[in-house]
Amino acid sequence: MKTKKEKMELINNVYSPLKIWKEKQGVYSFDKLQKTEEWANYLDYMEELKKFDGKRVKIRYRCNQDFFCGDVETKGRIKVVDDMVRFYQGKRTRRYYNLDGGVFEGWFATVIPLKIETI
């Protein structure tokens, strides 16, 4: 008999405060960022994100690397590899994106998940 899977959902509440903090600071150092409440919230969010390890998800994310990126919604799988959270889109097993709460916005192959839910 099949049991109903428990639905998990995570909404990124740290992206906006981090973005505002970074815009106010202009040029900033990680040492300065690590002393803020935003950093503590970011670390908590990343730990929550790691709980999706091995799960198929529907994800809405933002990327700022290319002119065609914006908010994208797609399905795939999340895996944690060496303390990095990776998103494999569709059935791909080689190409992935790193998921980040907002600190490393704009870095190569890094996307900011706005909402994640298991499917």
The answer to whether residue 43 sits within a structural domain is yes
- Tell me the per-residue pLDDT of 78-98, one tens digit each, with 9 for 90 and over: 999 988 899 998 887 788 888
Each residue's pLDDT tens digit, 42-59: 999 999 999 999 999 999
Name, in order, each residue with C-beta under 8 angstroms of 21's C-beta and a sequence gap of 6 or more: 33, 36, 38
Dihedral sign for Cα 51, 55, 58, 62, please.
positive
**14 part of a folded domain:** yes
Q: Is 113 part of a structural domain of the chain?
A: yes
**Half-sphere CA count of 65, side-chain side, radius 13 A:** 14
The single-letter DSSP state of residue 84 is E
What pLDDT, on the 0 to 100 scale, is given for residue 67? 58
Domain with 92 in it: 9-118
Distance of alpha carbon 26 from its chain centroid, rounded? 23
